Amino acid sequence: MNDMAPGSFGIPFQITDPERIPAKRYYDPEFFRMENERLWPRVWQMAARLEEIPNVGDYQTYEILGKSIIIVHTKDGVKAFHNTCRHRGLALVEGAGNCGRQGFVCPFHGWRWNTEGENTFVFAPHIFSPEVLDKAEINLIACRMELWGGMAWINLDDDAPALLDCLGPVAERMDVRNVDKLRADWWYGTVLPTNWKLAMEAFMESYHVMKTHPQLHMLAPSPQYASGIAADPGAAAPTPREAVYGFYAFLERLSDGMAGLVHADEVKVAAKTKDMPLPDDVPGAIGAFFQQFKTDLHADGQARGLAVPDINAVDASHPHKQVEFIFPHFFLLPFFGSMSSYRIRPLTSETCLFEIWSLAFLPDDHVSPKEPTMLPFDSEDFPEVPRQDYNNLPRQQRGLHGFEEMRLSKDWEGLISNYQRLIDGYLNRADPKELASATQLVNDGYDHTIIPLLV
Ligand code: FES
Ligand SMILES: [Fe+2]
């Protein structure tokens, strides 16, 4: 259908039917170039977790499509600068580290900057015309940055609406879960031969769980257990204790398989809770176990001086969503207290950098990783669940060539459509305030219906 159908700004492959996504959006170089030019320079991007830069002088770099930003812990807080020497343009630093007492020192001719971005040293200044060394010109260029949720977010557009105006209600849903107190237990990265949007979309619906993650589907406590019917239709209905043990087995499998979605410390608490006295009926037993488990997690956290929220209260005031997307390239998977966190950056039109953090409430002396452990995407060292997703993605990328358009479930796969149409809004250079309002609507969990946007 809409092959090369132009939008008002000549967008190729624009979405004209919200239930159908043209396949070329996932590999066409011109479409990728437009995203690079019109989307990425205008959106808020999670650039660093604050525990990666715990001490003054600690820095982290964030790369996006050839641009590099330094996020640095200064004596007055956290700042962000373009990672470019003002003499002849070298990237000042790479990866993460501590800039030490000398500050940032360019490895080419030794110019220096302090953590405030002020130039502190030029070797042999007398050989330059004074105007070339004008202070305002040789200080590092600041990058717009805001803090939220224990993370530093950057935006390359000085005129974009504020971060919280783009995040919307997701920020409050995460705040009540003390997201800013979570710390990274581990951090993995991989390069996937997959367009960044395709990789994001693998997490936007639970429709794939039945086939892609059958081990989770079989063990899921509901609806089979909650209704008192065994997962295996030939098996006898479980007793309340068997049902609770089944749920416990699900938590263990999820903890192993997602390595962090349910943290091992939480499984230890569940191991005790599962032997609590139970009501006589299966749904009642599951409900009582669930309630008590969350109470026990909160108590265990308090006893260990950790900021585990009162999860029962939080679930009542802000109903839990299993995946919380933050447009364009970040999402959190809250479960009980701990969460997994994903960030997916474009590298080329058909490759992306895919990172996963395991976040948990951890003691103050816990040392979080400062850089990801990079693995091949088909590494056996990845937890079971992402490995299953990685298995599909490169295959889907290959399959999209010679394929016209995806067809979406309007009820269950709507987030994919919502995301893609918001991208079209950026490519069409829609009004920034309208884009911010649309982003708030899109940042609304997963398994979503198709909603009107930017009409
Ligand atoms: S390029 Fe950095 S000091 Fe010359
Ligand atoms: Fe999955």
Q: Is residue 160 part of a domain?
A: no
Average pLDDT estimate for 186-210: 95
For residue 236, name the pLDDT band (cuts at 50, 70, 90): confident
pTM over 0.85: yes
- How far, in Å, from the CA of 205 to the mean position of ligand 2? 8
The pLDDT of residue 189 is: 96
Q: Which ligand 1 atom minimizes the distance to the CA of 111?
A: 3
Q: Which ligand 1 atom minimizes the distance to the CA of 85?
A: 2
For the residues of 351-406, what is the DSSP string, one character each?
EEEEEEEEEE---TTPPPPSS-EE--TT-TTS-HHHHHHHHHHHHHHHHHTT--EE
In 3D space, the residue among 77, 86, 139, 143 whose CA is nearest the CA of residue 114 turns out to be 139
* Helix count and strand count (H, E) for the chain: 14, 18
**C-alpha radius of gyration, the chain, whole number:** 24
Q: Is residue 452 part of a domain?
A: no
The pLDDT of residue 218 is: 62
Give percent of the chain with pLDDT exceeding 70.
Answer: 93
- How far, in Å, from the CA of 243 to the mean position of ligand 2? 25
Q: In terms of DSSP H, where are the helices of 168-310?
A: 170-175, 196-201, 209-212, 214-219, 240-258, 264-273, 282-303
Same domain flag for 202 and 349: yes
Same domain flag for 234 and 181: no
For the chain, the first-to-last Cα distance in angstroms comes to 21
φ, ψ of residue 230 in degrees (nearest 5): -65, 150
Q: List residues near ligand 1 (CB under 6 A).
A: 85, 87-88, 90, 106, 108-109, 111
Domain total in the chain? 3
Q: For the segment 13-32, what is each residue's pLDDT rounded down to a tens digit?
A: 999 999 999 999 999 999 99
Q: Which of 155, 187, 220 is the last residue of a domain?
A: 155
The pLDDT of residue 256 is: 77
Q: Which of 298, 317, 336 is the last residue of a domain?
A: 317
φ, ψ of residue 80 in degrees (nearest 5): -130, 140
- How far, in Å, from the CA of 122 to the mean position of ligand 1? 9
Same domain flag for 174 and 29: yes
Residue type at 173?
R
| Total Cβ atoms within 10 A of residue 172 | 13
Q: For the segment 274-301, what is each residue's pLDDT rounded down to a tens digit?
A: 999 999 999 999 999 999 999 999 999 9
Minimal-distance CA residue to ligand 1 atom 4: 109
More confident residue, 400 or 9: 400
For residue 208 the two structure tokens come to: 């794939």
Q: For the segment 121-134, what is each residue's pLDDT rounded down to a tens digit?
A: 999 999 999 999 99
220 vs 7: CA distance, rounded Å: 44
Same domain flag for 67 and 88: yes
Same domain flag for 278 and 136: no
Q: For the segment 367-395, what is each residue's pLDDT rounded down to a tens digit?
A: 999 999 999 999 998 888 889 999 999 99
pLDDT of 230 over the 80 cut: no
| Total Cβ atoms within 10 A of residue 264 | 15
315 vs 233: CA distance, rounded Å: 32
Question: Considering the chain, what is the average pLDDT of its residues?
Answer: 92
Find the domain containing 409 and state its range: 20-41+169-206+322-442
Same domain flag for 287 and 418: no
Same domain flag for 219 and 303: yes
DSSP three-state, residue 68: strand
Same domain flag for 197 and 327: yes
Q: For the segment 175-185, what is each residue's pLDDT rounded down to a tens digit?
A: 999 999 999 99
Q: For the segment 329-348, what is each residue's pLDDT rounded down to a tens digit?
A: 999 999 999 999 999 999 99
| Total Cβ atoms within 10 A of residue 301 | 22
pLDDT of 222 over the 80 cut: no
- H-helix or E-strand spanning residue 315: helix 311-317
The pLDDT of residue 383 is: 86
